[in-house]
Structure 1
Amino acid sequence: MKFPPFIEPSNITFNDFPESGASAEGMRVIQADFSRPYCKIEKVQYAYKSGISLYLKMIIPSQCTVQARKLPLILYVPGSAWLKQDLDSKLLQLGQFSERGFVVAIVEYRPSTIAAFPAQVKDAKTAYRYLVAHAEKYSIDTDKIVIWGDSSGGHTASMVGLTFDEQALDDECPVEQPLSVKAVINYYGPTDISKMNQEPSTCEHRLPDSPEGLLIGGVNVVDNDALAQKANPINYIHQDSFTPPFLIFHGNKDRIVPFGQSVMLFDALKNAGKKVDFYQLKGADHGQAPFWTPQVLDIVERFIRHCT
């Protein structure tokens, strides 16, 4: 039997590579659709602080599908009651935004059991600067960066958006390495931790070993209001300084972070003349499926596109 000659491999681009002419009876053909990005996940160490490595979980649209153009960045801070985070908990949900043409970076902060407030805010800013420094590698448009977080991550995102110039809340020099977050998305984040038990809740928010007590150093929240107020984003809203637009979502049956916490933040931003949109998810608890429906995600995407 005579076999066809071997074809030596060669470095051919995809566009120049020939389509196979082989066929088979009964074979069906579907035209390849390249309209949706193909996304990959990468874990990256962005810092080493307080004796631990801090990581980003990146969700990145592939270069083949985005044609090497620069993309907006979503810096996402997952909630954890300021304790150890699970960076994988929302990979499926946030992957939808990567498919919509965003680079997503899920940020790990130091847990409050290792470093109290404002460590979490400082870490998010360090992650931002790491990504700006590596923007070429990840195809990031540094003029289109937004920060988004849920629960304690929503609190951290709000603090980052309101404290661009606060040296006490920064591990790097803001003059040499300024931040330029274009928008903040806050999913059901705490605002004034001293008032969280003034509404119905299934959690204790006042004691030294509560999430809020641990956040400010393992002390009673009510007895240490000065510390609590340092962690209150409302106290960093200033009429005469730039504030990026805010988008807030909160369920009105939230059993962990009372709905009124977002009402406080919305009212403070609105009264200071800042741009802010606020959505109550009627009947929703603390996170879960209602916050990731196509309707809600379309609102979030329109907001980000408008701001960037």
Structure 2
Amino acid sequence: MKMLMLLALAVIGVASIANAETTLDHSKVIPPQQATFAEFPESRSFTSGIKVVQADLSDPAVASILNVEYAKKSGMPLHVHILTPWPFDDGAADRKLPLIVFVQGSAWLKQEMYNLPQLAQMVKRGYIVAIVEYRPSAVAAFPAQITDTKSAIRFLKKNADKYNIDASKIVLWGDSSGGHTALMIAVTLDANQYDDEGQDKDPIALKAVVDYYGPTDISKMNKEPSTWDHMSAKSPEGLFIDGVDVLDNPEKVKPTIPMGYLARDRRLPPMLIVHGSKDRLVPFGQSVMMYDALKKLDKEAVMVQLKGADHGGTPFWSRDMLNLVDDFIRRHL
């Protein structure tokens, strides 16, 4: 009887279970210790019947940091949404990633940030992505969208360490009116144009620019088939130039045309232009004009016609298209 009691006490005193089927060791308290994922040990606990599946660590999760205020203009707080690999630690915190600044198109009206899920695919490919909010034309007309995006880029540069950004590797990408913003920034960087009064003139350098179906000459948009009015004072283009008729105000249109800033001695980042052949909103010829002007000055540019594609949508975010964009960017980082 005495021996049985001692045995029972021994079992109670050591909270350890070990037999042919189960391994658990809870015999002592282990103080918490900091460790990277690579340093942290595999668990030795086990029991029969557990199914073992090898973790795929090649496809990182994506975290979103939403509504980060980068400026306040015209009484309006302006934000960036930041997409980053998650978790961003375990040795990776010292590995800064290239930054894609994406300007969401909106016909220069209030933006809806609907491209966040698609852009998450670029985070999985090894980038930080920041989606920029700009002032809509109802709040501020041209060139507010350009100055706002530049302010956002400068904010991200200043906070590069916080968000694990390699500030020496910045790419600008926009779609539709955001594509126009990206082009305008690209062609005016060398002249340091369109900066807010009093704005910190921290130089902005871009490794590459990607333009998805952006308008380039608003006075010619209704000279090709389109389902939208691009001419009247109430059209998106009219509102963009302060609510006036487009064709009646060439002096307001002229500074919005990116081709007008091109010069042989002006340095430009490499440009990728992508446009659908059946775009019902921004005619395909808008991109042809931009690409043709770049070619004539021997500037580095690639244009892709997405055969059968409309204004945006799934075809622009397919694996093949993202491979093309990714390859273009990486060649110039």
The TM-score range, normalised by the shorter chain, is over 0.9
Q: Deviations over 1:224-274 (max 9, x none)?
A: 011111111111111101011110000111000000000000001111110
User: Radius of gyration: which is bigger?
Assistant: 2
What does residue 43 of structure 2 align with? 20
SS of the equivalent of 2:206 reads coil
Correspondent of 2:316 among 280, 287, 291:
291
Deviation at 1:33, TM superposition (A): 2.9
Once the two structures are superposed, the pairs formed by residues 47-86 of structure 1 within 5 Å of their partners are 47-62=71-86, 63-64=88-89, 67-68=92-93, 69-86=95-112
Q: Structure 1 counterpart of 2:101, which letter?
A: L
Q: Structure 2 counterpart of 1:17, which letter?
A: F
Deviation at 1:65, TM superposition (A): 6.7
What does residue 29 of structure 1 align with? 52
SS of the equivalent of 2:171 reads strand
Q: Structure 2 counterpart of 1:110, which letter?
A: R
Q: Which stretch shows the higher mean deviation, 6-15 or 69-78? A: 6-15
SS of the equivalent of 2:170 reads strand
Structure 1 residue runs without a partner (length 5+) = none
SS of the equivalent of 2:153 reads helix
Contact 2:268 2:299 in 1 (8 A): yes
What does residue 228 of structure 1 align with? 253
What does residue 46 of structure 1 align with? 70
Contact 2:190 2:266 in 1 (8 A): no
Correspondent of 2:225 among 191, 200, 207:
200
What does residue 178 of structure 1 align with? 203
Runs of 4+ in 1 over 3 A off after TM superposition: 14-18, 165-168, 172-176
Task: State how far apart, in whole Å, the 1-side matches of 2:91 and 2:283 are.
Answer: 41
Q: Deviations over 1:87-110 (max 9, x none)?
A: 2x0111100000000000001000
SS of the equivalent of 2:288 reads helix
Task: State how far apart, in whole Å, the 2-side matches of 1:99 and 1:200 are.
Answer: 38
Deviation at 1:24, TM superposition (A): 2.1
What does residue 280 of structure 2 align with? 255
Contact 2:294 2:301 in 1 (8 A): yes
Alignment of 1:211 onto 2:236: yes
Contact 2:190 2:268 in 1 (8 A): no
Q: Structure 2 counterpart of 1:298, which letter?
A: N
Task: State how far apart, in whole Å, the 2-side matches of 1:65 and 1:95 are.
Answer: 21
Identity %: 51
Q: Deviations over 1:151-170 (max 9, x none)?
A: 00000010111111445511
Deviation at 1:16, TM superposition (A): 4.2
Contact 1:194 1:228 in 2 (8 A): yes
SS of the equivalent of 1:137 reads coil
Provide the alpha-carbon RMSD of the alignment: 1.7
Deviation at 1:20, TM superposition (A): 2.1
What does residue 7 of structure 1 align with? 29
What does residue 118 of structure 1 align with? 143
Q: TM-score, normalised by structure 2?
A: 0.88
Task: State how far apart, in whole Å, the 2-side matches of 1:115 and 1:194 are.
Answer: 20
Deviation at 1:142, TM superposition (A): 1.4
What does residue 183 of structure 2 align with? 158
Q: TM-score, normalised by structure 1?
A: 0.95
Contact 2:190 2:267 in 1 (8 A): no
Task: State how far apart, in whole Å, the 2-side matches of 1:201 and 1:55 are.
Answer: 32
Task: State how far apart, in whole Å, the 2-side matches of 1:65 and 1:150 are.
Answer: 35
Task: State how far apart, in whole Å, the 2-side matches of 1:60 and 1:235 are.
Answer: 36
What does residue 264 of structure 1 align with? 289
What does residue 143 of structure 1 align with? 168
SS of the equivalent of 2:172 reads strand
Q: Structure 2 counterpart of 1:251, which letter?
A: G
Task: State how far apart, in whole Å, the 2-side matches of 1:114 and 1:86 are.
Answer: 16
Q: Structure 2 counterpart of 1:53, which letter?
A: P
Correspondent of 2:213 among 188, 191, 195:
188
The alignment of Structure 1 onto Structure 2 pairs a total of residues equal to 307
